[in-house]
Each structure stands twice: as C-alpha cells, then as structure tokens.
Structure 1
Amino acid sequence: MSNSLLKLGFALALALGITQVQAETRITYKSAKSASSYYQMGVQIAEAVKAGSNGEMIVTVEESQGSVQNVMEARARGGDYVFTTPPVLVSLAQGGKAMFEGKGDPKFDEIRALFPIPSLTMHFVMSADSGVTDFAGLEGKTILLGKGSFGANEGEKYLKLFGLEGKVNLAEVELSNAVAALKNGQIDGFVTAGSWPAPNVIEAAASTGVNVLSLSDDQIAETKRTKLVIPAGTYSGQEADIVTTSLPVAAFTTTAMDDDTAYALTKTFWEEKAKMGEEAPWWNGVDQGLMANITGKIHPGAVRYYEEAGIPLTDAQK
C-alpha cells in the first residue's frame, strides 16, 4: 500500500474518531458519600443513561459530602453538572436563608430541576418482641437514633414533637450496628432515613420481625414534612401500608446545560427507570406523583420531555 493511501486511511480514522468524541455527551453527576445508597443510585443512573443512549451520553459519578456542598458547587460548575439535593435546599439557597445565609449568589437562581429520585423516607423500626405499634408505646423503650444524619435529627425532632423527649432511652450504638443490636435485644428499635425499601429494614424484618410505625395525619402535619406511603408487603411481615414522612430529593442542573442535553437525559432516565427498578426496588417508588414535590423551576429541556410525555407541570415549574 502506498504512503499516500496510508496517510489517507489515517486521516479518515482520525476524523472518524474526532466525530465520535464530539458526538459523545459527558455529564458529571454529584450525589453523596460513596458508602451511601444515593451514591449507588448515581452509579445506576450512569449505567442506565449509557445503555439507554447507546453510549452517546456518559455520566461520571462524583462523591459528595452532602446536599449543601452540591448546591454550593452549582456556582462554579459548567453545563455538564448534575447534582442531587432536596428541592427545599435550592429554595433556601436562592433566598440566602439558613445554611446559605451570607453565601447568596446569582448563580443559584439558574438552578433547574430535571427529575425526582427516591425520597429520604423516615422509618421508626421496632422489634416485634417490643410490642410497640405506635409512638405512645415508645415511652420507656431503648431506641437507636444515630448521630449527625438526617434520620437522627428528624428522629430527635419527632420525639420532642410527640411529647417523648426524656421518656425514651437513647442507645449509644452506631447506626451501622442497628440490626445486630436489635437481634440481641440491646435495643428495642432504631430510626433510619433513606430510600425505601431500606436495606437495613429489610434485614431486620427478615431476621427478627419488626413493626415499622405509621404516623397519623395530625402527626405528619406537625413534622411539616411530606407524607409518603410504603405499600403493604414491602417488608417481611408487613400486612398494612406504612404511613410516614419523607424529604423529597431530585436531580438538578443549571441553565448552563443546553436544552437538548437536558431533554435527552430526562427522557432516558424515565425510559430506563423500570429496568433500574428490576435491579433496585427503590426506583419503583419513583413515579409521576413525585413531580409535585419539585417546588422550583424545571429545566426547559426537561419541560419539553414532560410536555411530550403528557406529564402535567405547574405554572411555577415551567
């Protein structure tokens, strides 16, 4: 083969490679600590997006120290940045309130939602042997709340709201040891927050038998959190729905992301969600009903998908 043909072949191969690189959309997805279920969800989304787009969209998952950090980084990131956070934190950032006081930035006003992901769901898990079936029954019992987490803070808040402060023995045990402590009778119950079905609750229900407490409508109103129903049969021995509270979580980006990318990412997420649910049941709790929990604006590219799919949006979301 002549040198000129070799050069031509090399040039064509190079051009083809450049075209493929240019056609590939890269996205950074910042979620949570690597040991958390929300980081695992990020990995599942990355795999689903790659499969659903035939490799045209590549998502790289970044570890995060939490939702506040994710929101803060929106100030400096580009159009490839996607992050997860409760919608309420976006509202606080845009208003310069609470943990964002004195840290306001015009970039926060450019944050836009894409799609909901599993909510942080409160579980008050009591051993069947404890006989506890409602919050009044917690008095005198030994409960593990954990420390520093959303679930621990919420659990402590609920004990105060429901008149149980100082009436419950708080165990000094790490939440990671909750199931073992429940099995050996060291504690009567534990509080955990995460997506449902929660792995530690599944383990506890299967190994020792548990009652997951429900909240009344009045109690839910006191917490000022979002009502969530965990269907009967989710956990072993669970014969009735569990009515509890949740903190909605969603995937966000900014207006720096182009409309076509936001459209494709949102469309692929919803189209692949059923397959994700076959491998990880927490995705089965994500449906169109969670769209109402997105209180801020949705990215125009995502809005285009929702309008095509016939999923209703509020005027405030558009």
Structure 2
Amino acid sequence: MKLSKILSIATIFAVAVSANAAERLTLKAAKSSSSYYQMAVQVGENVSKLTNKELSITIEESQGSVQNVKEARKRTGNYVFTTPPVLLKLAKSQKAMFKRDNPADYEKVRSLFPIPYLTMHMVVKADSGINSFEDLKGKSLLIGKGSYGAREAKKYIELFGLKDDVKLVGAELSGAVSALKNGQIDGFATSGSYPAPNVIEAAASTKIKLLSMSDEQIALTKRDKLIIPSGTYSGVEEEIATTTLPVGVYTTTNMSEETAYKLTKAFWESKPALEKQNIWWKAITFNNLDMFKTKLHKGALKYYNEVNATIPESIK
C-alpha cells in the first residue's frame, strides 16, 4: 500500500476518533443521600444527552461544599463543583475553615450557573406536641454531621436560646426518617432544595410537621427568607417560613472556553427536561445570576451574552 494512502486512512481514522471522543468532566456534588447529589445526576444525564455525549460528566460523591471548594486548589482538568457563594468568599479572605489555606489558590475559580438553593427544614412528628422551636426544649434533634444543614441547625438552636435545652444528635441523616418513625428521635434538621427527598420520604411514612421561623428568628440567622408553599409535603397544609442559601456550579480556569460554553448552554437548554424531573428546577432563571460573587468563566459569559441575559458587572 502506498505511503500516501496509508497516511490518508490514518487521517480519516484520527478525525473519526476525534469526532466521537467525549470531553470528560467531573462534577463534585454532595452526599449520595442528598438532593444535591440527585441534582448533579440529573444535570449530568441531561447535559450528556443534549450534547449527544460530547460532554461526559462523572458524578463524585462529596462530604460537603467545604470539601468541594478545597479540592479546587489541586484538581486539574475539567473539575466542576457545587457550593454556596459564601464559602468562596471565606476561602478568598482566608477565614473560618479556610484560615490555613492560601487565598491565591482560589483565584482560578469561575462561576457557571445557579442551581436550586439550600433550604432548611426542621421536621417533627405531627403528634409530638412540638409546634415551635421553643417546644424543642427537652427534645432530641438529629442534625447529621459535617454538612451545611448540621452547622446551621446547631447555630439556630444556639441563636434561639436553646443551646442547653435540646439534645443534638450528630448521626448520619440517612437514618433520620426511620429514627423519627420509630420514636428514637423527636425531630431532624436537613438542608436541601424543596421538595427535599428525605422530607418527602418522612411524610410518606408518618405524619409530620415542619417548624416555621418568625421574621425575628430569620433575621438572627442572617440568611434569606423563603416560604415553602402549603401542600409541598403530604399532610403539611400551611406555608412554612424558613431560611435559604444560594448555591451555584463552578469550575476553574483549567477548563477551556469552548467546554465551559457547551456546558453552560447545555444546562440552560435542558432546563425544561429538568423541570419535568423535579419541580425545584423551575425556581432557577437568569435572574439568579446576581447570586454569584465570583467572575463567570469566559465560556459561560459568552453564552449569557448570546442570549442577552442580564449580567451583573461585577462578575463579567
């Protein structure tokens, strides 16, 4: 066979392989039992489908957003992760759990798109006689461990003057529903976008009640107020006032502009399909871009400019 023909065949083969090769991404989400892991799976599946598998997303379980942010320092390639913007602010200012880190290591982080926000749920049995936080005195509350929800629940108990009156249980949330049903605990606290899967599960197995916060209590938490609509959970027929925290999807400058563009575009174009899978996706619109405090990746910015989305100057 002539050398020219061999080269021609090799070129065709190389082009075919290139055309079929998927760009691989890793999405670091949350614990497998959480709503945020479920969201990550949904995003991964829909983005892969919409891009005809040009983007292949591997979902990694995480112990929480702090771990996600810290790994951004050392991960290479297409590392994608979820976190509330406030943690990136702490990382860049060398505060709290990031006080021993080099803030410069986080300068390469870039924003992509928002996802449903963290929403605090305080779940008790409907017949427990617990109708307010004050009624938690002398009771046990499972809060999980190492998560945003665990930290918030502990903080709220202290802020509301109940520090020495409520037994906080640091067991894994995966056992919260059965523990509540069997009377091993009086309630549990969990964070996740509503409707939260573990709260749906609890409502399906026993009659539950969600504790509502007063405006004064919400002000003490320094979080945003959110109303969970009546009827969101089986048997909970009143509106519930609680707190919420924005959450976004981020990457680093290691990701190419083309890949970030494709990922961002695929996410927004798959949103109708995501909404059919879970109602929580309906709350996410271009208006949520103002939650970001970290600059957008150039690829994401390109997409938002194309669709004429309103973009805060601070993240361009």
Name the TM tier (shorter chain).
Answer: 0.7 to 0.9
Q: Any conservation in 2 of the 1:79–1:258 contact (CA below 8 Å)?
A: no
For 2:92 and 2:170, how far apart are their aligned partners in 1? Answer: 38
CA displacement at 1:10 relative to structure 2 = 4.5
- Give the whole-Å Cα distance in 2 for the aligned partners of 1:58 and 1:170: 41
Pairing partner for 2:245 from 229, 240, 247: 247
Give the Å deviation of 1:235.
0.7
Say if 1:220 and 1:295 are closer, same or farther in 2 by CA, change over 3 A. farther
Matched with 1:312 is 310
Q: How does 1:38-57 map to 2 (within 5 A)?
A: 38-57=36-55
2:196 corresponding residue in structure 1: 198
Maintained 8 Å contact 2:139/2:186:
yes
AA partner of residue 187 (structure 2): G
AA matched with 2:266: T
Partner Cα distance (2:3, 2:312) in 1 = 62
**Cα separation, partners in 2 of 1:229 and 1:292, compared to 1, 3 Å:** farther
Question: Does the CA-based 8 Å contact 2:64-2:147 persist in structure 1?
Answer: no
Structure 2, unmatched stretches of 5+, are: none
Could you tell me which amino acid in structure 1 is paired with residue 303 of structure 2?
A: Y
Partner of 2:156: 158
- Per-residue CA distance 1:240-263 (angstroms, 9 max, x = gap): 332211232211112332323222
SS of the counterpart of 1:29?
strand
TM-score where L is the length of structure 1: 0.87
Q: Structure 1 residues 205 and 233, CA, compared in 2 at 3 Å: closer, same or farther?
A: same
User: What pairs up with 1:119-130 in 2 under 5 angstroms?
Assistant: 119-130=117-128
TM-score normalised by structure 2 residue count = 0.87
How far residue 173 of structure 1 moved from its aligned partner, in angstroms, is 5.9
Deviation at 1:315, TM superposition (A): 1.8
CA deviation digits over 1:13-72, x for unaligned, max 9?
5133233156x4332222234444433322222211111112222222233343233223
Structure 1 gaps, min length 5: none
**Partner SS for 1:38:** helix
Q: Using the alignment, how far apart are the partners of 1:112 and 1:173 within structure 2?
A: 34
User: C-alpha separation between the residues in 2 aligned to 1:81 and 1:170?
Assistant: 35
Aligned length: 316
Aligned residue number for residue 11 of structure 1: 10
- Aligned mate of 2:187, from 189, 205, 210: 189
Task: Give the aligned residue type for 1:19.
Answer: S
Cα distance in 2 for residues equivalent to 1:76 and 1:148:
21
The aligned counterpart of 2:113 is 115
Give, as a single letter, the amino acid of the residue that structure 2 aligns with 1:243.
A
State the alpha-carbon separation in 2 of the partners of residues 74 and 245 from structure 1: 27
Q: Percent identity?
A: 53
**CA displacement, residues 80-112 of structure 1 (integer Å, 9 cap, x when unaligned):** 221222211111121222222232142411211
- Please tell me the root mean square deviation across aligned C-alpha atoms, in Å: 2.7
